[in-house]
Amino acid sequence: MIKTVKDVDLKGKRIIMRVDFNVPMKDGVVQDDTRIMAALPTIKYILEQNPRSLVLMSHLGDPKKDVKKAQEKAEKAGKTWTDADSEKFINGKNRMAPVVKYFSEKLGKEVAFLPDALGQKAAIDALPEGAVAMLENVRFHKEETSKDAAERETMAKELATYGDIFVNDAFGTAHRDQASTATIAKFMKEQPVGGFLMEKEVKYLEPMVTNPPKPMVAIIGGAKVSSKIAVLESLLKNAKYLVIGGGMAYTFLKAQGHNVGKSLVEDDFIDTAKKLLADADAKGVKILLPVDHVGATEFSADAKPVAVDGVDIPSDLMAMDVGSKTVEEYKKAIGEAKSIVWNGPVGVFEFDAFAKGTEAVAHLVAEATGRGAMTVVGGGDSVAAVNKFHLADKMSHVSTGGGASLELLEGKTLPGIAILATK
């Protein structure tokens, strides 16, 4: 287990802390504060310890990439794009100042905004005792995400002068080896520690790979096998049941020789699917694939749902959700579980007509939590699903990191966690 802020003396120390305030923005207004609120317990605890100062840093989108996408979209629609448009877009999407204002209100304490991530040592040294400050978006500097280690180190070295102790509570970026997430550790006198959010993420996600309470059920959905194959292979080691849903299920069904109609299939991964099915069989892991479906003639929210009572799908239909018989199979497996990890929806839950399967899974996992099972929801779409169905508070843990939780479930070592002191 990692050491946290509770394991070190913070009194009178300057704290430099990486948070994940990469929140959705629209015209300079915060649209969802989940990540901000998740960091508050650690921040409040640090301030209770009477530090000399607390300086926060985060990314907020990626200005260069985001503005490029916006420009391409505008030009595709036949609109002209000027430098003024770029500036307006960046001000509304990537500037940290509105986030600082919002966060200050939630914290109930003034937070100083520092207008750059670099060149701020004098301003930080001049902060009043116990002050909180936040740097501008670290990704305005290419060194933050540079693949060149020397470039990252140049930035990290300066960031390290802002504090005596580095605290990493940004699980959402823990899989990135970047200047403010991992490289900074090289230049700190003390070994960095985690915040409470980082501690919780590691506490719940790592056991799902190493030694989960058994029997364990893994529910893996989403569109593509290619993005989830490493997770599937990793979870085979401990799972009793491996539920494969969403678009990726149809690559597996095709690999078994079934007709999948117009459903999403990755033909390049048919052999990979066959191998995984064989590996699961050899390990005694039962793989649950859809046995019935809800289909449609087109991928649209307005498409008419068509029940398909069987595994094979007519040639004019694409699968959009799992059917009621499949949900019954899920119910039996989940009913046995002492631990459940869920990453990815089992249908197109964004469309209400095709959300029933994913909603049923969310309720089944919530019920399992109530019975004492350890339940972990990881991944952006799964989190969006449990939020949509108002069941997030009924799970043991809902991860804040999409890519990070996925890589942790793959059994990878995450740079932002590897740098932290351990107990």
Task: Find the mean pLDDT for residues 361-371.
Answer: 98
According to DSSP H, which parts of 214-267 are helical?
Answer: 225-235, 249-255
According to DSSP H, which parts of 291-421 are helical?
Answer: 324-336, 356-370, 380-388, 402-409, 415-418
According to DSSP H, which parts of 52-133 are helical?
Answer: 63-76, 83-93, 97-107, 121-125
Q: Where are the beta strands (DSSP E) in 83-195?
A: 111-114, 131-135, 165-168, 193-194
Task: Find the mean pLDDT for residues 382-390.
Answer: 91
Q: What is the pLDDT of residues 73-118, one digit of tens each?
A: 999 999 999 999 999 999 999 999 999 999 999 999 999 999 999 9
Closest CA to 42 of 21, 73, 64: 21
* pLDDT tier for residue 423 given thresholds of 50, 70 and 90: confident
What average pLDDT does the structure give for the chain?
Answer: 95
Q: Where are the beta strands (DSSP E) in 228-381?
A: 239-244, 286-288, 293-296, 306-308, 318-322, 339-343, 374-377
Q: What is the C-alpha R_g of the chain?
A: 23
Closest CA to 396 of 203, 199, 228: 203
Q: What is the pLDDT of residues 26-42, one digit of tens each?
A: 999 999 898 999 999 99
Examine the pLDDT at 401 and tell me if it is beyond 90: no
Neighbours of 255 (CB within 10 A): 21
Rounded to whole angstroms, what are the CA distances from 392 to 25, 363, 382, 385, 397? Answer: 22, 10, 10, 9, 8
Q: What was the pLDDT predicted at 381?
A: 86
The CATH fold assigned to 202-409 is Rossmann fold (3.40.50)
Contacts of residue 15, Cβ cutoff 8 Å, sequence gap at least 6: 46, 51, 53, 54, 55, 163, 164, 165, 167
313/248 Cα distance (integer angstroms)? 15
Q: What is the pLDDT of residues 126-135, one digit of tens each?
A: 999 999 999 9
- Using DSSP's 3-state secondary structure scheme, residue 294 falls into strand
Q: What was the pLDDT predicted at 103?
A: 97
Residue 5 structure tokens: 């802020």
* pLDDT tier for residue 400 given thresholds of 50, 70 and 90: confident
% of the chain with per-residue pLDDT over 70: 100
Q: What was the pLDDT predicted at 402?
A: 83
Q: What was the pLDDT predicted at 140?
A: 97
Q: What was the pLDDT predicted at 6?
A: 97
Residue 208 structure tokens: 């799902």
335/92 Cα distance (integer angstroms)? 47
Q: What was the pLDDT predicted at 383?
A: 87
Examine the pLDDT at 379 and tell me if it is beyond 80: no
Task: Check residues 155 and 382 and name the one with the higher pLDDT.
Answer: 155
Q: What is the pLDDT of residues 175-220, one digit of tens each?
A: 999 999 999 999 999 999 999 999 999 999 999 999 999 999 999 9
* pLDDT tier for residue 240 given thresholds of 50, 70 and 90: very high
% of the chain with per-residue pLDDT over 90: 94
* pLDDT tier for residue 71 given thresholds of 50, 70 and 90: very high
Of the listed ranges 169-173, 261-265, 383-387, 415-419, the one predicted with least confidence = 383-387
Same fold, 5-60+95-194 and 202-409: yes
79/126 Cα distance (integer angstroms)? 46
Task: Find the mean pLDDT for residues 322-333.
Answer: 98
* pLDDT tier for residue 272 given thresholds of 50, 70 and 90: very high
What is the four-CA torsion angle of 147, 149, 152, 154, rounded to 10 degrees?
-150
Of the listed ranges 27-31, 156-160, 364-368, the one predicted with least confidence = 27-31
Q: Please tell me the class of the 5-60+95-194 domain.
A: alpha beta
* pLDDT tier for residue 4 given thresholds of 50, 70 and 90: very high
In the chain, where are the structural domains located? Answer: 5-60+95-194, 202-409
Q: What was the pLDDT predicted at 99?
A: 97
Confidence (pTM):
0.89
Task: Find the mean pLDDT for residues 126-151.
Answer: 97
Q: Which residues are catalytic?
A: 35, 224, 380, 403
Q: What was the pLDDT predicted at 251?
A: 97
What distance lies between CA 209 and its chain's CA centroid? 17
Examine the pLDDT at 380 and tell me if it is beyond 80: no
- Spatial contact of 39 and 168, defined as CB atoms under 8 Å apart: no
